[in-house]
Structure formats: structure tokens, C-alpha cells
Amino acid sequence: MSVLTRDEAQTRARLLDVHRYEIDLDLTRGDDTFDSRTLIRFTVRDGQDTTDTFVELKPAELRSATLDGDPIDPTALDGNRLPLTGLTEGEHELRVDAAMRYSRTGEGMHRFTDPTDGETYVYTQLFLDDVQRVFPAFDQPDLKAVFDLTVTAPDGWTVLANGITEHLGDGTWRAATTPLISTYLVAVAAGPWHSVTTEHRGLPFGIHCRRSLAPHLDADADEILDITRACYDRYHEKFEEPYPFDSYDQAFVPEFNAGAMENPGLVTFRDEFVFRSAVTDTERQTRAMVIAHEMAHMWFGDLVTLQWWDDIWLNESFAEYMGYQTLTEATRFTDTWVDFGVARKAWGYDADQRPSTHPVAPEAVDDTASALLNFDGISYAKGASALRQLVAWLGEKDFLAGINTHFARHRFGNATLADFIDSLAATTDRDVHAWADSWLRTTGVDTLVPETGTRDDGNWNVNLRHADGSRPHHITIGLYDHDPNHPSRLTLRDRMDVDIPATGDMVLGSAGPRPALVLLNDGDLTYAKIRFDPDSLTTVRDRLSGLPEPLTRAVVWNALRDAVRDGDLPPTDYLETARTHLPHETDLALVQGVLSFASAQIADRLLTPTARPAALATLTDLCRDLIRRTEDGSHPGLRLTAVRHAIDVAAHPDTIASWLTDGTVPGGPELDPELRWRILTRLAVLGATDEAAIDAELARDPSATGQEGAARCRAALPDPDAKRRAWEAMFTSDDLSNYLFTATAQGFWQPEQSDLLHDYVERYWTDAVAVAARRGPAIAEAAGRWAFPAYAVDADTFRLGDTCLREADPIPALRRKLTDQLDDLRRAARVRDTHA
């Protein structure tokens, strides 16, 4: 499939104005394909001589195509491009009749049959260039058009789309005409949905899921709709431009690759957000943040759309920032920036230190394949962090004035970074152009280091310096003293707001003795790694849990995490700090973040295999402390988090096997499906269960999630035949859906089974390249992320990986993942060598 280049898109945009798509989809044609008939009305601009262009299309069968009534030979289709030749100035009509394939990989029109009840659902995911899997299109974001959609569906189905849909009878549904939107934002979701509908401020709201999840959606419907209403109202307080579409539906769909997709009027979410098992309040907050994020896209991305894919930050960074900020302002989730700091920001820091790093706003993205790779921790988390820093530096009043100017100038159109900066510049005297150059056009993470001392007069001072990087930073420095009344606590003496220049050191001082802790970036307003002076590090090690605010503790935990990854802090010191302070932590996001890093990174990767058992023992003791602490039932979310991680790090099967037999953890919680599959997976890793037990559990829970759990468990069994079957399912057969592929990969590689898996490390590099080439970017992403031998930190892995990248020509989506994974392994090797 040919990718669209930036140059080709610019040429086509100069040539054409696209006005309208009339699309007729027939979903009653069988399990493999659906019919797609499309009329596109477009104009060749004045002053154009006879010229040629193309439309993108990837059909199972191209039955016919006509341009202005003249037939186009179907054999002219070249890959995914249908040539349009001899175009003259003026209006034109293109008609295409094709059969299109359903997808099992979450790309194009995905088809899913629910194993619980046999009901079938389909939905579209047309981002970034997958519209051509559903209907022909001039597929680039700056060729906006209006869309008229008709869908024929089986009896008993409901069809959802960007606009309000009407059932015309005989299974035919018609959607209201859209305003001007980009091709990648067109959406359809069809099936026997369970729906909860309401109205808010005269606008229809709906939430939808497959029928087997109906009780779970109903249980949370009030919460989901309350969050939706609160965000809607808060955005209307912030934005002068009203919500620009005729309805707001949120569909929770199966086997969705992303967290959600911002289709105007029909946001699609992965249906794991319909919770069928117990969850923590932090997980509810995450769902609420995704709701807020996607609603922000109705303005950032849908109303005003990027002109080309080098400005994806104009979509994602803004939605990320607005999602967290608006949730904090408008809902009960008032500490969202803690979770951002622990989970999302770490994602950005890691991405920004790999060879594949890129600016938040690159100067140019050459083609759509390259663009797809940039939907990462930089475009989301780093970009949102940059915006948070911009608001701190600029002031929220001027920031909001700038974005409202931006909406007014470009509504239902397209915009670039330059356009946005011009809108901001119109509302402030600050040099936002210089800010954009230093923050959005550069790569890497700055490191800020304090060097403290005591002057001759007894007062203290601190020298702030850039150890790495050269961006200006507006930060808060927190000064903390030992609490004389509570030996384990710290008290805030003062906070100083400081503008750190891009270059050069900066000396600050204050009257009185040196604080016990000097904390740079208190409040987490900037994007930078921070370090501690020696005395402050001692204070942190001794009294971290005594810091009064969770966001402050998040900054400290992030700094310790970064120091471990950089080789400046031994991983065992981090574990000891966690063992000391996490039993006293109350913030669920912090507990989850620290335990995840300690287990998945430190125990599984950063420590040598011989040091791993001791790390697992430490984490097991820590989880037991948390479980004992929560026996009174006062912290159910904390208890659930501790139980989950106790299962994941169990080195011996006896305790967790007894939980599974009893159906409960002593003192609670009772085991729901998620916990039962979690225990069974760990028992499989440890060789303490078998195929019969997995089959019995699947009979107990035959849902889609149960199918994934069974695939994960089977792949985790330490048995040569089980490993062979799992490998063949992933890499030889193409039958696995995207979710079943991921589940199988998650079970396959286990540090405890390195001897059994040794030969597969070498096979991976050939087989992953082949499956990615056959099945495309979504499976390539899964193969590079989940099927990668992440535990294999050794020279053979580096040699095999480097040879693959040099000689095997993996598709871009896989090449990016392999590059990043190998860099992470090399970082782990350096940490091991440093602290051997």
C-alpha cells in the first residue's frame, strides 16, 4: 500500500476543492466483506490545465468506477490508488462501487462476534489513513468535506454515526449531513447496541455498548453521563465557540486499538472502560480523563484540524492538557495531575530519551507512515507538559484568549503551528514565537540540578544549573523542613516561583538555615528531570512519605525513577525506598505507579536474573504490608492494587492458589473475573496449573475477556508444546484478532522461563518482520511492543536486533518499536553494569 507523502498532499490540496461524499454501506453481505458505494463531488480549481490526480481505495473487489459518467477501468487501480486522469477546471463527480473487507485488527471496519451471546458488532476506525478500507477518499486532513451516509444493516441492529441517525425501515439508516470534517473523522458503529440516552442543554447524549456488557454499563451510566455533562459545561465556560455538532454519542466498542477516538459526535472507546470487575478510583479517574480528552477534541482536532500530520500536537497535546485540567476543575477528581505526573509524564520522558525522539512539533513529517509513529509519549505527554508550562509562564487568561482567537480564525478549517502561535501572540506581549522555538522545535529532556550551600552569614543559597538541555523554565522550588513534632514528617517552609533562563546558572538564596529538602519543580509545572543535592536525597530516603501533598510526592518519585534509569541511583535503593514509604502512601496513582515500575522495570529488567528473586521477595513483603494495612476495609482501592501486585510478583504458588480455590482473598476482595484470570496467569507462569484448569476457567467465563485470559494463560505455560502453539498462533497463522494476538504475546515471554524460550529470541526477528509485513501497522505495533523478548538483556539480543534493523527492512511501525525496545534493553544493560 502506497503511503501519502506531504508533497503529494500539498499538490492535491492546491489542485482540488472537495465538497461532498455520499456514501452507501451495506453490512448485510456476509461475514467477510461489505458493499461500499460512494459519490464524491469535487472541483478542480480555476487556472488548472488538464491534470491528473488519484483517490485512495483498498477494496476486496473494485466492481466499477466512473468519472463524470465515463467508466474507469478497474484494473487501473494501482495498489491503493485509483488514477483520475484528464481532469479539467470545474466540477466533477466520481462514483465507485466496491466490496470492502472487514477487519480483525481494529483498522478500517472492524467486525467482532461476542462469544458470550453470538451477537455481532462492527465499527470504523479510519485514523490515520484507514478510510480507504471503507470507502474511496481524497484522504488527507486539509481536504475537508461534508458527508451524507446511508447504511443498510441486519434486522435488530442500531446504526450510530457522526450525526443523528434515522431508521428508514427495511434495515436502512440515514445519518444527518455532517458539517465540514476531515476524512479520518468519519465514523460508523453498527450492531445490537445496548444504549442509555439522555439530553443536556438541548443536545442528545448517548452511551452505548454491546448487550453482554449492559449490566455493567447501566451500573456506571450515571457516573459516565455526569462526567460528560460536567466537562461539556466547563468547556463552554472556557471556549467562546459552542459545541459544533448535532449530538454527542459515546460508543464503547470491542477490540479497539487506542484508548478512544475523537470522531465528531460519535466518540469510540475501548470497551474495557465498561468495568466488569472491581476497579480503583484511579481507574475511574482515567476513564473520566479519557472522556474529557476526547470531548476537548471536538474543538482541538475536529472544529479546527491540523493541516498536515506534522502538527498532531495541535490535536493531542491540547486534548491531553485540557482533559486533565478540566477534570480537575469540573469533577470530583481534583488530583488528576498526580496521575499525569506518575503515569503519562514518565511515558513522555522515556520516549524523549530514545533514538526515535522527535520535536513536539516537527518541522516536516514526510508521509503518513512516518506520521503514525509520532502518536507517542512526546505528542501526548510532553506536549501537554509544554502547554502546562506555557500556561504557567503566560497566564491562563491570555492562554484562553489565544485559543479562542484560534477557534474564531479557523473554525471548520485547518491550521498549523504558525497559525496557533500567531493567535497566541495577538493576546500577549510575551515572545511566544521564541517560546515555541525552544519548547516545540527541540528534542530531549532538560535536567535541572541544585547545588546548595551555606554562606558565611549562616544563610543558605542554591545554585541552579542545566545539566542537560537549554530551555527556559518557570518553576516552583519547594523548601521543606523536618517537623519537630512528627519525626517522620516534613513541613513546607516556603515556595519560590523562579524563571530559569535557557542558558547559564542561577543563584538563589534565602534567610535562615538550609532547608532539609530543596525540591525543584514542586507542583510539577515544567517538563524536566530534576536531581537532589546530597542532603535533600538523604531527606527523601528518610521522609518521602512525610511530604504533605501527593503532587509533591509524585515529583519526588519521578525524580527517583529517572535517577534509576540514568544509572545514578541503584535500583535496589529505589526498592528500599518503596519498601519504607509505600506502606504509608494514600494516593492510589502513586502506589500503582511505584509498584508498576518496581516490578515491570526494576525486577524484570534492570536487575540481573540472580538479583530478581530478592526483588520479588521485597515487593511481596511490601504488598503484604499494604494488604494488612487495609484489612479494616477503609481503603478498598489500595487493597485491590496491593492484591493485584501481590499476584503479579508471587514467586511461590501456594498463597495465590489458595485464593483461587477459596474464591476470595482472606478479608476480601472476593475474586471477580479479572482477579481470577490474573491468578491463573501467574500460576501458569510458575507451572502450577494446566490446560484443564484453563479450560474450566474459560467455561466459567466465556466472554471476550475470558478468551483473552485463556490465550494469555496457555501461552504462559512452561511447556514446549504450549510455547510452540502460541508462537504459531501469533506468527504463522493470521487468525488471531488484534486483542488475542496481544494476549498471547503477553503470556509468552516470562523471565522465569528464559531457558525454555532461548531459541525463540532468535526466531523473533524473522517472524516479527514477516507478520508485520502481512498484517499491517496494528499487528506490527503489537508484535513490537508485546511480543518482543523484553527480558533478554544480553549481547546476543543486541546483535540480532541490530542485524534485523540493518538487513530485514521491517515496516516503519515495527522498525520504530524495535529501535525503542533495543534502546531500552541497552539502558538496562548499562544500569546492570553500573551497579553490578
Q: Active-site positions?
A: 294
- State the Cα–Cα distance between residues 23 and 94, nearest whole angstrom: 12
The 3-state secondary structure of 700-760 reads HCCCHHHHHHHHHHHHHCCCHHHHHHHHHHHHCCCCCCHHHHHHHHHHHCCHHHHHHHHHH
Alpha helices by DSSP H, 239-312: 281-297
524-544 burial, b for 16+ CB within 10 Å, e for fewer?
bbbbbbbbbbeebbebbbbbb
Q: Which bin fits 508, alpha (ψ -120 to 50), beta or left (φ > 0)?
A: beta
- State the Cα–Cα distance between residues 667 and 293, nearest whole angstrom: 37
Tell me whether residue 50 is exposed, middle or buried, using C-beta atoms within 10 angstroms of its C-beta: 0 to 12, 13 to 18, 19 or more. Answer: exposed
Contact 328, 337 (CB under 8 A): yes
Name which of 499, 556, 509 is nearest 529 in CA terms. 556
The sign of the CA dihedral 354, 356, 361, 363 is positive
Q: What is the CA radius of gyration of the chain?
A: 27
- CA angle 123-128-130, nearest 5°? 50
Name which of 724, 650, 661, 659 is nearest 687 in CA terms. 650
- The string of DSSP letters for 527-552 reads --EE---HHHHHHHHHHGGG-S-HHH
- State the Cα–Cα distance between residues 321 and 344, nearest whole angstrom: 11
- State the Cα–Cα distance between residues 768 and 750, nearest whole angstrom: 18
Amino acid at 460: W
DSSP 3-state of 169: strand
Whose cell is 518557570? That residue is 474
Contact 519, 555 (CB under 8 A): yes
**Residue 393 grid coordinates:** 509562564
